Chains A and B, each alone.
Chain A
Amino acid sequence: GLLLVALLVSHMLLTKEGVTSLPICPNGPVNCQLSLEELFDRAVKLSHYIHFLSSEMFNEFDERYAQGRGFIAKAVNSCHTASLTTPEDKEQAQQIHHEDLLNLILGVLRSWNDPLIHLASEVQRIKEAPETILWKAVEIEEQNKRLLEGMEKIVGRVHSGEVENEIYTPWDGLPSLQLADEDSRLFAFYNLLHCLRRDSHKIDNYLKLLKCRLIHDNNC
């Protein structure tokens, strides 16, 4: 239900995606099963929306707090999800088995559960944080949960064998978000937002790739 609402919201916000309609279960909720295509459609829209938000949020933060501080040079190699080996180019992404890729997506999503919660709370302590950033942090945190739910559904549908153990990487960046030194704290935020933007884009890209591969047989 919430997912549906979220999808509706995302649909309204992303009119360019042009969903024709949200099918209503004809046979009641018991027999109601969205097709894989519909599941992917929604997941892609959601991931697109999340990345849109995170990208916007990063840009806003970058403009407001990171100008001239050289954060980008320091931000290299410091995402907590870096330990998850994800495809880094098209070939890798195409070669990896879709179940593995789905699991990776799940792992990344799970890895962000924690930091997003903290981000949503800690970002409010940034000095003069604009409302747009605050709102987006909360929104991303919620949408990420919904996307995780949706992805678990998809994985449950796609997986032939056993569901792998939940993989995720823990995040220990909370102290850095609470640093007393403003510069360090801002960099911690910057880095987190930078990683969020990267991972949300990864997920979005992987999902679009998977959708084309699984639904459209590589002929989108």
Chain B
Amino acid sequence: MKQRFISSVQIILQLALTTVGLTGQSYPGKPQIIRCRSLEKETFSCWWKPGSDGGLPNNYTLFYSKDSRSRAVIVPLYSALVRPHQNPVCSSGSLTARKTLRCWSMSREGQLNWGRVWSMIQPDAPVNLSLETNKSANLSYLWAKWSPPPLSDASSNSHVYHYELRLKPEEKEEWETVSVGMQTHYEVSSLQAGVKYVVQVRCMLDLGEWSEWSSEKSIQIPRERLPPEKPIIIKCRSPEKETFTCWWKPALDGGLSTSHTLLYSKEGEEKVYECPDYKTAGPNSCYFDKKHTSFWTIYNITVRATNEMGSNVSDPHYVDVTYIVQPDPPVNITLELKKSIKRKPYLVLTWSPPPLADVRSGWLTLEYELRLKPEEGEEWETIFVGQQTQCKMFSLNPGKRYIVQIHCKPDHHGLWSEWSPEMYIEIPTDFRVKDMVVWIIVGVLSSLICLIMSWIMIMKGYRMMAFILPPVPGPKIKGIDTHLLETGKSEELLSALGCHGFPPTSDCEELLIEYLEVEDSEDQQLMPSHGTPSKNTKIILKETDSDSGRGSCDSPSLLPVKSRESRSLPSTLQTQDVRAKEKKGGKGSRETQCKASEQKTLPWHSESIKSCTWLAAQLPSNQAAMFAYHSTVEAFKITLNATNVNTSPVLVGNEENRQSLYPIAETVYDDVEKISEMEYSKTDPTTVQVRQNEHNDKSPFLNPKLMDYVEVHKVRQDEEPTLLLKHKENSGKTKKCTLPGISKEYTKVSTVVDHQILVLLPDQRTQNTPVSQEPVAETSQNPQQSQAEKNTSYSTTAPSDSRGDTSGSDYMDPSSFMPSFK
């Protein structure tokens, strides 16, 4: 009974499930009432969700009571065997209005306060939706019709529904919802033409909820018929300054076929013309051939679009063809790599103007611009080249691939053409790069070698240093081969010197003289160092060490000899001696070296002896030139041996005084004697003579020099006439020697001469010093100037002995020999 269905009545349902538990099975779970719904306010249905069934089929029973307060009435409304997972439908019978339903189960209660009844009411969706379009007064309408939802109960047709309709264009998301009311049709206006719409409807009873939306229906709204919009003239362009073309964008035509017409009028003419040629330049364009193209004339161009509904005209376009020239891109582009004189490649670009452009007549003048970039580069380098049709590019990076493009433009106005198609050119790698690589490799290798070398140097250190950087030799006579000296053949030496005849020629003498001069200057420097009192032989040794490298051993005499010579002989001789020492002086102890050299190098000794003999013998007798020559040549190379030999006699002298000081020297001396004996057979007669001298006195060469010294010494102190005579002889000889030598010191000698005798010069120094010092010191100082170690030894060793006796006796002999040499 519809009337009795009171919306305000609260119906309480309790769904009680009787679950028949079978043996061993669990109880069923608690069922849940999902919803109850009334379609038409007369009946309603409830749906529930079964609980867990415990693995068994369950019986569900819906109980309801109509009165929430009185629970007395329990009406089994529906009972059915419900299979698991089935949603049972419990459709009640007709409800009596005044009663409130209440249901509960026997065992467990699931109680649901369902609320007011009307909330349960929800009709089904409307059906039979149909759409139509209608047109009235040039406007489109949408006509929608539908039917109310069908009911199983035919008697319930009288229900009144409210309807809603929603629609949208097919492609859109948002719906537009329209409330329709009670009627089952609707007319929609203000639709867009040509759009397809989608429509749905739904319904609702006077109370309750909206039904679902009905199924979609769609309909296409037909287009409208309108006159076209304005066409738009895009541009006009003349490719060669002779013809031109205009393009336009066609108007929107609303689906109707529209025709376009181009109309133009020229400056100075009233008449309006139509486009002469729509076809040549393609659709939506107009081509003006030469006849229709004027320059320095403004064209007023319009385009009219027309369809059956009407026409529309574009905005006017004013064109002076002079200013709209846009040529085609240049053609015949060639890229050529050439190499300049410096072998650096450069790029020669040539091109031709576009074929349409008549550049030759001068009607059109084109200017060009090219651009290029490395293939992977980002930015173009643009170069304006003016009217020329070629270009040389110099500063290109070798090894890169370049892209080149060219475009052109009329000289004053107009637009740049499109860029020509890309041209590629690969710049070959520069040869210089290869060279650079080579140089880098070389540099790395050399640095590696240097590193290794330095490493070796560090490892071997001292020796390597000595090996790589031998002691710097003193000034040598040009062209002398040290190996020749070592072999000791005087002739070869001489030839090496350029003196082919053994007897020295004038040339050789000159050479020697020059050499000597050089030595002099150095001697002066050396003299003071020597002049400083040297008390021990050790000092001498040091000196020799320091002097090492100087080449000439003129005098075979050793340190003492030098010292004496320094006084007695001209400074040149002294220096030579010093050099001899120097060469002699190795890094080790000099004496030991002497030994070794003596024993091992016999020829050397012989020569050295020769030289020494030469010196000794000839100094007094021979002319200065000769002396100088010998001293330089022979003594020079023989230095080591000579020094050895010289030392030995000196040492001998020492032995006489004290043997303890130079034991080694003694042995050396002995060896020297032997050697000298051995060699004498080979040597020249002069040497033989010398040898004799040597045998007679242990220090034959020394003797003359020593004699000089002694003489000086004596001259100073004793001033005996005999000595003076000898001294004169020596001095005279020395003069001769020195004169060519031109030593400044020697000039001082001349002053000494004033006292009594020429030789006094070296004495002066000695005199001066001894005067101030003690007599003992004087004696020591006499040798002092020329490394007087051995002299000192003399003085110290034989203070008791009368010098005149011991030393004088020794020296006297050589002096006596001297004349014999002559």
Q: Which residues of A approach B to under 8 Å, CB–CB?
A: 16-18, 48, 51-52, 55, 72-73, 75-77, 82, 86, 88-91, 93-94, 198-199, 201-202, 204-205, 208-213, 216, 218-220
Contact A77 B268, CB 8 Å, known A72-B318, A89-B290, A89-B295: yes
Interface residue B298 (Cβ < 8 Å from any Cβ of A): yes
Docked complex Cα distance between A91 and B359 (Å)? 14
Q: Jot down 10 A-B pairs with beta carbons below 8 A, ordered by A.
A: A48-B411, A72-B298, A89-B242, A93-B363, A201-B322, A209-B361, A212-B360, A213-B361, A213-B362, A218-B362
Interface residue B212 (Cβ < 8 Å from any Cβ of A): no
Docked complex Cα distance between A88 and B363 (Å)? 11
A contact residues around B296 at 8 Å (CB): 86, 88, 198-199, 201-202
A contact residues around B367 at 8 Å (CB): 16
Interface residue B671 (Cβ < 8 Å from any Cβ of A): no
Q: A-facing mask of B359-372, CB < 8 A → 1, else 0?
A: 11111010100000
A contact residues around B300 at 8 Å (CB): 73, 76
Q: A-facing mask of B239-274, CB < 8 A → 1, else 0?
A: 001100000000000000000000000011000000
Complex contact B267–A77 (CB within 8 A)? yes
B contact residues around A90 at 8 Å (CB): 241-242, 290, 358, 361, 363
Docked complex Cα distance between A220 and B365 (Å)? 9
Complex contact B360–A219 (CB within 8 A)? yes
Q: In whole Å, how far is A39's beta carbon from the nearest beta carbon of chain B?
A: 16
Complex contact B297–A55 (CB within 8 A)? no
Complex contact B412–A89 (CB within 8 A)? no
B contact residues around A51 at 8 Å (CB): 412
Complex contact B386–A16 (CB within 8 A)? yes
Docked complex Cα distance between A72 and B300 (Å)? 10
Docked complex Cα distance between A75 and B290 (Å)? 24
Q: Among A52, A55, A73, A89, which residue has the most Cβ atoms of chain B within 10 A?
A: A89
Q: A-facing mask of B295-320, CB < 8 A → 1, else 0?
A: 11110100000000000000010101
Contact A201 B316, CB 8 Å, known A76-B298, A91-B290: no
Contact A218 B361, CB 8 Å, known A73-B316, A90-B241: yes
Complex contact B267–A76 (CB within 8 A)? yes
| Least CB separation from A200: chain B residue | B412
Q: In whole Å, how far is B291's beta carbon from the nearest beta carbon of chain A?
A: 8
Interface residue B294 (Cβ < 8 Å from any Cβ of A): yes
Q: In whole Å, how far is A203's beta carbon from the nearest beta carbon of chain B?
A: 11
Contact A209 B295, CB 8 Å, known A77-B268, A89-B290: no
B contact residues around A77 at 8 Å (CB): 267-268, 298
Q: In whole Å, how far is A31's beta carbon from the nearest beta carbon of chain B?
A: 30
Residues of B216-243 contacting chain A, CB below 8 A: 241-242
Docked complex Cα distance between A205 and B320 (Å)? 15
Q: In whole Å, how far is B369's beta carbon from the nearest beta carbon of chain A?
A: 11
| Least CB separation from B362: chain A residue | A212
Q: In whole Å, how far is B97's beta carbon from the nearest beta carbon of chain A?
A: 82
Closest 5 CB pairs of A and B: A212-B362, A88-B294, A16-B386, A209-B362, A208-B362
Interface residue B390 (Cβ < 8 Å from any Cβ of A): no
Interface residue B536 (Cβ < 8 Å from any Cβ of A): no
Interface residue B293 (Cβ < 8 Å from any Cβ of A): yes
A contact residues around B290 at 8 Å (CB): 89-91
Q: Among B293, B365, B387, which residue has the most Cβ atoms of chain A within 10 A?
A: B365
Complex contact A220–B322 (CB within 8 A)? no
Docked complex Cα distance between A163 and B367 (Å)? 36
Docked complex Cα distance between A218 and B298 (Å)? 28
**Apart from A73-B318, A94-B361, 12 more pairs, CB < 8 Å:** A17-B386, A18-B386, A51-B412, A75-B298, A89-B290, A90-B358, A90-B361, A93-B363, A94-B363, A198-B322, A199-B296, A205-B295
Interface residue B413 (Cβ < 8 Å from any Cβ of A): yes
A contact residues around B294 at 8 Å (CB): 88-89
A contact residues around B320 at 8 Å (CB): 198
Docked complex Cα distance between A205 and B296 (Å)? 11
Q: In whole Å, how far is B282's beta carbon from the nearest beta carbon of chain A?
A: 23
| Least CB separation from B300: chain A residue | A76
Docked complex Cα distance between A88 and B361 (Å)? 15
Complex contact A204–B412 (CB within 8 A)? yes
B contact residues around A89 at 8 Å (CB): 242, 290, 293-295
Docked complex Cα distance between A88 and B242 (Å)? 10
